[in-house]
Amino acid sequence: MKLDLNAALKRIISEESRGNNPVPDILGFLHLKHLFKPDFSTEIENLFEKYAEETLKPEPLLRIDVPKENFTIRPMARPSVRDWLIYEAIIDYLAKEILKKEEICQRSFSILNFKGQSKKKIDAWLKFDECCREYHKNGYKYYVTADLTGYYENINLEKLRKRILNYLGDNGDKLKIIKALFHLLRK
């Protein structure tokens, strides 16, 4: 098992370049290679090992109040770049493992049902949209959407950890990844 740090870094940089980050990194993460000296992959993997063994605490979160359109403030916490990179790589790995199991997509109707049918993201969205319109034509008049963004701070991490372990199994590699993830989340 190996975390794909390069893919995680590319996604962080891609999100940054799209302007989806309320607190942009002014260097555009170009400083990462310098930050971790010549072999940054080895440095990050060593850090991951320490988190999995719980022998090193993650760096403190940067806490920021982000203004919203309706003149309110949304609290935000941003991890250090190295912790963020490890977190993204872990989430990538777990998402791939979870989406391999088809029952997730069978129990809900979402765009996830259409990914993999084409390499282009827009194709999955168009197929999803077409299918939704077909359901509407066939008499389905209501749908339910859920926005869980306000719920994250209320998630019971111990229950979540148990559910993930139960779902994925607790073999050595997966257990190590899950331990590192929840060590990062306990900051």
Give the global pTM: 0.71
Q: Which three-class secondary structure string do you get for 117-176?
A: CCCCHHHHHHHHHHHHHHHHHCCCCCCCCCCCHHHHHHCCHHHHHHHHHHHHCCCHHHHH
Nearest one of 45, 53, 38, 50 to 8, comparing CA atoms: 45
Mean pLDDT, rounded, for 167-180 = 83
Report residue 25: phi and psi, to 5°: -85, 115
Give 32 or 168, the one with higher predicted confidence. Answer: 168
Digit-coded pLDDT (tens) for 52-72: 898 999 999 888 888 878 888
Query: pLDDT band for position 155 (50/70/90)?
Result: confident
| Amino acid 140: pLDDT | 85
Mean pLDDT, rounded, for 174-178 = 87
| Amino acid 118: pLDDT | 63
Neighbours of 51 (CB within 10 A): 24
Give 113 or 36, the one with higher predicted confidence. Answer: 113
Any idea where the domains of the chain sit in the sequence?
Answer: 5-100+146-185
Mean pLDDT, rounded, for 13-42 = 64
Query: pLDDT band for position 119 (50/70/90)?
Result: low
Query: pLDDT band for position 105 (50/70/90)?
Result: low
37 has a pLDDT exceeding 60: no
